[in-house]
Amino acid sequence: MTNSDSEQAPSTDSAGPADSAGPAGSGGSGGSADSAGAPAGRTGTAIVFPGMGPSAFAEVGKFLLLDPYARQRLAEADEALGYSVFDRFRTSEEDYSVYSQIAFLVNSMAMADRAVDTLGISPTVCTGPSFGQKAAAAFVGSLPFADVVRLTAELARCEEEYFTGAYEDVVTHSFVRTPQERLDEILAGFDDRGAWYDISGRLDAGFHMLSVREKELDGLKASISAAGGYSMYSMRPPVHAAAFSALRRKAEEEVFAAYELADPTLPVVTDQDGTVVRDAAGMRTMMLDTFDRPIHWPSVVESLKGLGVGTVCVTGPDNLFHRLDLTKDSFEVVTVGLPKKRSRERERRVA
């Protein structure tokens, strides 16, 4: 399922807006480490494909044209779809259009290619929260990249059809600095009023995603503020809610039925509960679970630690997962992302 900019929010140690310079990285030529070092005794490396945030052409168009890894993946995507993704992405006005989604997928895979080729990254485990599952499926060989491109396009159509007639008044709201006990009090208020809600995710201590009716949103924000929390983003269409079981069935019948997944070449940690997947059936279940099960990043972190992971390499236009306190406190974090703002300005001058 497509995630929105709630997955590109500030870390829990910052209440300000996300860094406008873009994801951490090294100008497309390497990676940067965000913590002191891998914990003793844990020598494994996990590759992490981030959930999708806004992927505007103005931000990533130059990268798609100039980066050799991106150009190669973009050519594969064009062949898979039978049209120029770049041309359609350039004229798209929606942050989460199918063309934006494909561009995000292309960039995530391109950065993984670079991490393996130039940084010598040799992952022992893979994970991909939310939209990142798609790149993960390609990276571990459960689906060829061309199939993942087609799957992404077909799922975008499927979701648009579903949310045109169902849950049109529901949004998923992300907020931080709200301890679980205060969230429990807020939810008890919903229960007392008989108001509907669904938990859509937990990303860090006090960092939650909650799906509610839009008419409840102002009251929710007020309750979060009263609890000392900080409201961030509201997404439409909503994501990762138990109420969307019909969307899961629709996706399974209309999209996934046409694809045969293979066993992954690496263990894959699911973003819902940290289960370690080692076969094709588990991969299919994980990718379907994204529609009606919430994200739980703390479970992913615990599972990675249990597998001996000391370093995580986040490959993609990420502005969230590598910044989370839980991630930074648990691993050495290497990021391979889009060029920083200054690097992009230099690229423009050179071009």
285-304 pLDDT, tens digit per residue, is 999 999 999 999 999 999 99
Q: What is the 3-state secondary structure (H, E, C) of 230-258?
A: EEEEEECCCCCCHHHHHHHHHHHHHCHHH
Largest interatomic CA distance in the chain: 61
As a residue count, the chain comes to 351
Q: How far, in Å, CA of 303 to CA of 268, rounded?
A: 10
Lowest pLDDT segment from 248-257, 318-327, 333-342: 333-342
pLDDT digits (tens, 9 = 90+) for 209-258: 999 999 999 999 999 999 999 999 888 889 999 999 999 999 999 999 99
Record the pTM.
Answer: 0.86
Q: What are phi and psi of 304, to 5 degrees?
A: -60, -40
* Nearest-angstrom CA–CA distance, 296 and 269: 11
Copy the structure tokens of residue 276: 């370690």
Question: How far apart are the C-alpha atoms of 314 and 46, rounded to whole Å?
Answer: 8
Rounded to whole angstroms, the Cα distance separating 127 from 301 reads 10
Q: How confident is the model at residue 53 (pLDDT cuts 50, 70, 90)?
A: confident
Please identify which residue in the block is written with the tokens 């929260």: 129
Q: What pLDDT, on a 0 to 100 scale, did the predictor assign at position 9?
A: 40
